[in-house]
């Protein structure tokens, strides 16, 4: 089992809905990440938080809004998504510096 | 810009066969290198990593990888695969001292038949 917990595991939403994805870790990691993974493709980095501050935004559309309320939690707020946003959304965490990332199971998102 | 190439998109092997998956990266500076595995329906798991030192790195489940700097390569090997090794394998690279930006290769799907 992974030590990075993501909820929900599956989410189906309409293009006008507002929903949030949640990620939690209790490993004391101070860096947290959101990735998007389309079918049969590698994960693509979306956002990085270091010490609860947004440090990297890979030119992600504003309909995706990340939030890091504390060092253990990472949210991804979704609004007015498009069908092409359907994907597996992965959360990861790591220690700051030269350390590997630990991944959650992901949230499989479907936009109707 | 950094990039990672995995030339083997789909590999099919019988149990006990030897495995080598290719990974080449493009980056002029020093890098950290990783292999992750994604079993069907499961999360990405770290198989092994290279930061510095001995270029031959041993990981979990009998996997190893060799960093060849002159060839910009970090190939994954296992002498004898098992059915349970069936999974998607991703090579990834980040700049040294900046593991935030992890760039993944396109992945290799490994199928092992009994």
Per-residue pLDDT reduced to its tens digit, B6-63: 988 999 999 999 999 999 999 878 889 999 999 988 889 999 999 989 999 999 999 9
DSSP one-letter string for A35-101: EEE-TTS--EEEEEEETTEEEEE-S--TTEEEEEEETTEEEEEEES--GGG-EEEEEEEE-SSS---
**Cβ within 8 Å, pair B101-A31:** no
**B74: pLDDT confidence band, cut at 50, 70 and 90?**
very high
Q: pLDDT tens digit string along A36-50?
A: 999 888 999 999 999
Residue B32 CA to residue B93 CA, distance in Å, equals 6
Residue A37 CA to residue A12 CA, distance in Å, equals 16
| Cross-chain CB nearest to B90 (options A42, A56, A104) | A42
Hey, what are B114's tokens?
Answer: 């009994």
| Cross-chain CB nearest to B43 (options A31, A56, A104) | A104
Strand bridging mode A64-70 / A53-57: unpaired
All residues of chain A having their beta carbon less than 8 Å from the beta carbon of residue B36 are: 103
Question: What are the pLDDT tens digits along chain A (112 aa)?
Answer: 679 999 999 999 998 889 999 999 999 999 999 999 998 889 999 999 999 999 888 889 999 999 999 999 999 999 999 999 999 999 999 998 778 899 999 999 999 9
Q: Which residue has the tokens 């350390």?
A: A99
CA distances from A84 to A38, A59, A81, A110, A112 (A): 9, 16, 8, 9, 10
Hey, what are B96's tokens?
Answer: 């040294």
Residue B29 CA to residue B46 CA, distance in Å, equals 23
**Cβ within 8 Å, pair A42-B104:** yes
| Cα angle: B101, vertex A105, A39; to 5 degrees | 75
| Cα angle: A106, vertex A111, B4; to 5 degrees | 50
| Cross-chain CB nearest to B102 (options A45, A97, A105) | A45
Strand bridging mode B3-5 / B24-26: antiparallel
**Cβ within 8 Å, pair B104-A103:** no
Residues with Cβ within 8 Å of residue A54, at least 6 apart in sequence:
A47, A48, A66, A68
- Residues of B at the A interface, defined by Cβ within 8 angstroms: 32, 34, 36, 42-46, 49, 51, 90, 96-97, 99-107
- Looking at the predicted structure, is the pLDDT value of residue B72 above 80? yes
């Amino acid at each position: 089992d992974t030590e990075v917990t993501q909820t929900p595991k599956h989410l189906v939403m309409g293009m006008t809905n507002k929903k949030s994805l949640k990620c939690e870790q209790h490993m004391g990691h101070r860096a947290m990440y959101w990735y998007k993974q389309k079918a049969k493709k590698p994960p693509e980095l979306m956002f990085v938080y270091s010490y609860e501050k947004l440090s990297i935004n890979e030119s992600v559309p504003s309909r995706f809004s990340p939030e890091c309320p504390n060092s253990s939690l990472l949210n991804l707020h979704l609004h007015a998504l498009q069908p092409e946003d359907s994907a597996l959304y992965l959360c990861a965490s790591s220690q700051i510096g030269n350390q590997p990332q630990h991944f959650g199971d992901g949230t499989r998102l479907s936009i109707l | 810009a950094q990039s990672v190439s995995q030339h083997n998109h789909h590999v099919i092997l019988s149990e006990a066969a030897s495995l080598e998956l290719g990974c080449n990266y493009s980056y002029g500076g020093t890098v950290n290198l990783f292999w992750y595995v994604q079993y069907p329906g499961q999360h990405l798991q770290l198989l092994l990593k290279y930061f510095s030192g001995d270029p031959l790195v041993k990981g979990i489940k009998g996997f190893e990888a060799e960093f060849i700097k002159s060839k910009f390569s970090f190939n994954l090997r296992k002498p004898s695969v098992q059915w349970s090794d069936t999974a998607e394998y991703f090579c990834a690279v980040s700049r040294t001292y900046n593991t935030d930006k992890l760039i993944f290769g396109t992945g290799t799907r490994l199928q092992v038949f009994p």
